[in-house]
Structure 1
Amino acid sequence: MNGLRDSQLQLLWTARIDYAEGSRVEAHQHADFDQFFIVLSGAGRVISAGESYVVQEGSAFLFMRGITHSFHFTEETLTLDFKFRLLDPALIDVLSHVQASCLCQGSDLSEIKQWYKLSLMQMRVPESVHPLRIEAGFKSTLVSLLLNDASLPAGPSTVLANIDENEPIVAYMKINIAEKITLDRLSKRFGFNPNYLIKVFSDRTGLTPIQYLQEIRLQQAKEYLEFTALPITEIAGKVGWSLPYFSTFLKKREGLSPSQYRSSLLNEVGKDIILEHDFANEWIVKHD
């Protein structure tokens, strides 16, 4: 990553790492960089600075430089890992006094995933994403999460970015995403004529109700493919699609079948995404 960089935080490396049941990383510490470690799914235990923490979905851990830490996983565990260097003394001081463990959920988790995906994109096509965008975004999410600030706007803009999730019809479709939702069902549920419902919803969101439903189903399905090990058939069911429809729809939108889409990302699982060319990551994963 060359050119303009963030003046307070330098992102060095990131990776999605899937740990097998029974694997562990022995106690170690980093002398000149810091680490943020997020558990997407799985179970186990983390020990940091002599304190023991239970690993669960959404667990997140900040390991400042010089802090001894280790991992032990009792189930297959999917993680995202960021190694970075804090450059600003004031920021170092603030983060040195925060709780080392927290839960990363909701918009914070969506943002963290986005910084990983943008880093992956930047590695594949160096000119595709400006490095400052990734570093500044990661720093903002990290500070928001660890200092318990209000959630920040998520990631890059999409067709869903400006839609109010508290809108009743929107909220209803998100909660019932796995069910068979039709325009007739929505009309009866909210007491509107179908044509009027389309007009009202389109005026507020820029999409018809069914267009919006397809978008959130696609977004959720891609999240499952990207960051879980769920079978593809199960993913289709979770978003209210049949497997053939899911395959056809994703192929049309992304140019890949669900298995191809997942494989394109799984090829990078366990692979270092180097964001600073002179940074060398070293780790040793052991198994019981």
Structure 2
Amino acid sequence: NAMMQTENNDNRIYLHYTGWTATTPVTDGIIHLYINGKLSETITAEDDYYPVKSIFRTGDKVKIEASSENGKYKAKAETRISAPLQIINVDTTYISLRDYNSWVGGKPVYDNYLRLNIQLKQPDIEAENTYYRLEIKQIFYSHKWHDGRDTLSIDTTYNYNYIYDTALTDGKPGHAIDEGFELIQKWNNYFGLFKSCYFKNREYNMTIDLKEDINYIHIDSQKAERYISIRFYSISESEHRYLYAMSSALDFDTENFIYAVPLIPNNIKGGIGIFSIANQVKYKLKEENCQDRY
């Protein structure tokens, strides 16, 4: 397996022998990596992985050829690097949303959220049917006095609410009501996947809600800050299909005979696994004086 990124200086490829119940790392393998038909590097194992030093750019066609035990076992795969999305603008506002799974005294519970309206544009050089992945990282810094000392608490979360966004719900925006038994297993978008088919004239406005979580912003804090990192990854169709299936597998109920068994896609010739290189764009926000909201 290798799910790499263009701006990552620690890209790795993993080779394993597969068995009936477990896998074994390949430590004597050799990997030839080609970019646009030219050999870029020859890679040998470092511990249980194969470090990649090549620099990847938009439009590159990358191919790997792996072998082990003097050529007894061989596998290969290739991918193309898509152009990154463009983040045109990010607007923020504070809103209150109902928690459809919580009631207190017979009344619904409402939580505070920071809503992000993200304006995206698809590059003209890309085909209209392309695939993307969203990742949001929040880091909370909370200062408070404890035993006469200034104490700093740092908490990190990757959680966000996407249920009101059309692309991230794959065309089915709604709310978080648990409607009970379903003939078709509900799909949760654990990896922030979406497709460009929801763009209009190559543009799209995405709606994300970040909960103002009191578990991270302590109620007795003198000062609290939140740093938000937004990353959009342009990915291949193979990576999209792979992560889509993995999302289904995470929720698969082995005791429910109605639900279909998730099938994990593969784009390796001569083996099984996934080979992909994502191209990213990022945007950062800082929210100050978070403690004033409690």
TM-score range, shorter chain: under 0.3
Please report the TM-score for the alignment, with normalisation by the length of structure 1. 0.23
Structure number with higher relative contact order (C-alpha < 8 Å, ≥ 6 residues apart): 1
